[in-house]
């Protein structure tokens, strides 16, 4: 890593990484209040949920195009353009009180996130060698998890004052920009080379990213209904349970670089699926809120490794000239998984209930862990 202060570069990219989690969970607490405020709009209960799903759909659809933009125009111009769209679209609910304009603003937010995540992932590959990258991605996983705790808590506090106040959090990146301008530099452009074999070799990464996010979004999409409807908990319990999972997510992410020195990508996946199966099984058998707090420990640890391991595996396989395009497809895979999670699980919930869903997923995760442990001694995903 050259040209700039390495410490400043890492801090800048950690700040950028928090924008992805900020985009989704910040306004969760405002959704019931939005439904009440705009009660005269037909189907407002459904439309208010679109506040969360529309950005995910836009990110999934636009990210591959964002990848081409990043490869063609460099990393920083798309990054700063994305931040501008993020601030403009995300904060629209703070000062514009027309529901449909706010909904359109959420689409603009999605465009911004697509550019931000694609360009920042490419920058990580450009700036760091593989060993430094593993250390950085440990810190990135921690930053994302802690950012999630901060934003969901701040959003809840602000929503109690007024439904529109959480949207003001999207103005925060304006404070990042002067520091980003100082810390980041445009990497040298890379020669574009057609490589069909590379595209096929990355397919397992994209599929893994999709299913990791499908599983990850079980927590915010299914757990609230289990807490309130089945276990008789208060809405405030939802935030505490999810925050506990994200805390252990952060603590475990910090250990990724150490684990990677001893284990390859496949072995780490095997271990994390075993942790995930344990957590999901505990939720399936839970009969109290207290049990859920125990369950979130292995689940948080699993997610702390799953997301970091997927990103690290991806960057180990993609060469510089493909980082923009490939990062766009990876971002698309992640957010398509986020959008698909409740849709894929709804038929199972309808038939077997939420705890039935968790028991089925626990069985599948345990089977996957056993298969991965079996093959991990023969097949290694990490590069020499």
pLDDT digits (tens, 9 = 90+) for 87-127: 999 999 999 989 999 999 999 999 999 999 999 988 998 89
Q: How many domains does the chain fold into? A: 1
pLDDT at 382: 45
340 within some domain:
yes
In angstroms, what CA-CA distances link 180 with 10, 88, 111, 122?
A: 10, 18, 20, 16
Question: Rounded to two decimals, what is the model's pTM?
Answer: 0.78
Distance CA 23, CA 52 (A): 9
| 302 closest CA partner among 326, 276, 266, 284 | 276
Domain residues for 79? 8-182+195-375
What is residue 236's predicted lDDT score, i.e. its pLDDT? 65
Q: Considering the domain boundaries, does residue 339 fall inside one?
A: yes
Over residues 250-272, the pLDDT tens digits come to 888 888 888 888 888 889 999 99
- Residue 382, domain member (yes or no): no
- The answer to whether residue 2 sits within a structural domain is no
According to the model, what pLDDT value does residue 62 have? Answer: 92
For residue 70, the domain's CATH number is 1.20.1250.20
Q: Does some domain include residue 258?
A: yes
> 327: closest CA among 160, 130, 116, 128?
116
Is 251 part of a structural domain of the chain? yes
Residue 204 lies in a domain: yes
Give residue for tokens 């199972």.
348
- As a whole number, mean pLDDT of residues 296-308 equals 89
- 1 part of a folded domain: no
> Which of 370, 228, 246, 367 lies closest to 296 in space, CA to CA?
246
Give residue 377's pLDDT: 61
């Amino acid at each position: 890593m050259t040209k700039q202060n390495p410490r400043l570069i890492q801090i800048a990219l950690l700040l950028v990484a928090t924008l992805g989690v900020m985009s989704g969970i910040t306004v969760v607490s405002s959704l019931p209040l939005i439904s009440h405020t705009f009660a005269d709009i037909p189907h407002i209960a459904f439309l208010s949920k679109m506040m969360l799903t529309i950005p995910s759909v836009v990110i999934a659809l636009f990210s591959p195009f964002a990848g081409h933009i990043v490869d063609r125009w460099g990393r920083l111009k798309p990054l700063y353009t994305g931040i501008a769209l993020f601030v403009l679209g995300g904060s629209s609910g703070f000062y514009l009180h027309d529901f449909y304009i706010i909904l359109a603003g959420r689409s603009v937010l999605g465009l911004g996130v697509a550019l931000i995540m694609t360009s920042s992932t490419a920058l990580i590959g450009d700036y760091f060698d593989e060993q430094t990258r593993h250390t950085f991605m440990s810190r990135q996983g921690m930053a994302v998890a802690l950012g999630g705790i901060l934003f969901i808590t701040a959003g809840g506090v602000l929503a109690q004052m007024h439904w529109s106040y959480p949207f003001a959090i999207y103005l925060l990146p304006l404070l990042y920009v002067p520091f980003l301008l100082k810390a980041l530099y445009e990497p040298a452009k890379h020669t574009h080379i057609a490589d069909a074999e590379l595209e096929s070799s990355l397919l397992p990464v994209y599929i893994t990213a999709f299913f990791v996010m499908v599983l990850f979004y079980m927590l915010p999409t299914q757990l609230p209904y289990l807490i309130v409807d089945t276990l008789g908990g208060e809405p405030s319990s939802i935030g505490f349970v999810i925050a506990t999972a994200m805390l252990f997510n952060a603590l475990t992410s910090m250990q990724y670089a150490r684990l990677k020195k001893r284990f390859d990508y496949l072995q780490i996946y095997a271990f994390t699926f075993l942790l995930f199966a344990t957590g999901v099984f505990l939720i399936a058998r839970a009969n109290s809120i207290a049990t859920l707090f125990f369950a979130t420990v292995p689940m948080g640890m699993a997610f702390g490794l799953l997301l970091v391991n997927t990103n690290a595996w991806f960057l180990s396989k993609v060469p510089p000239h493909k980082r923009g395009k490939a990062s766009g497809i990876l971002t698309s895979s992640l957010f398509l998984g986020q959008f698909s999670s409740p849709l894929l699980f709804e038929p199972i919930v309808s038939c077997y209930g939420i705890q039935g869903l968790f028991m089925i997923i626990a069985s599948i995760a345990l089977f996957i862990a056993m298969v991965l442990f079996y093959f991990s001694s023969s097949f290694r995903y990490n590069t020499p």
